[in-house]
Amino acid sequence: MYTLFMILIPVAMLATLGVLGFGVFQMIRGGDPRRANKLMQMRVVLQGLALILFAIFMMMLKR
């Protein structure tokens, strides 16, 4: 179970970073504002997922 979290947490963090970078690129480039907004919303969701996974992992380590 620990190994699963050790894989999922970095994947969630990298996905967050990727969506953030792509969203910022979209805003700088002047693309569709709705698409850039959707990317930023997706970033928030992925960031929350990464934090929840990290919190669960830390609780598992505490035991």
| Confidence (pLDDT) at 63 | 77
Q: Give 27's Cβ-side CA count (13 Å radius).
A: 10
| Confidence (pLDDT) at 2 | 83
Q: Which of 5, 35, 6 is nearest to 23 (CA)?
A: 35
| Confidence (pLDDT) at 37 | 86
Please say whether the beta carbons of 26 and 36 come within 8 A: yes
Please say whether the beta carbons of 1 and 59 come within 8 A: no
Tens digit of each residue's pLDDT (9 = 90 or more) over 19-63: 999 988 888 888 788 888 898 899 999 999 999 999 999 999 887
**Residue entry with tokens 């953030």:** 20
Measure the CA–CA gap between 22 and 48, rounded to whole angstroms: 18
| Confidence (pLDDT) at 32 | 83
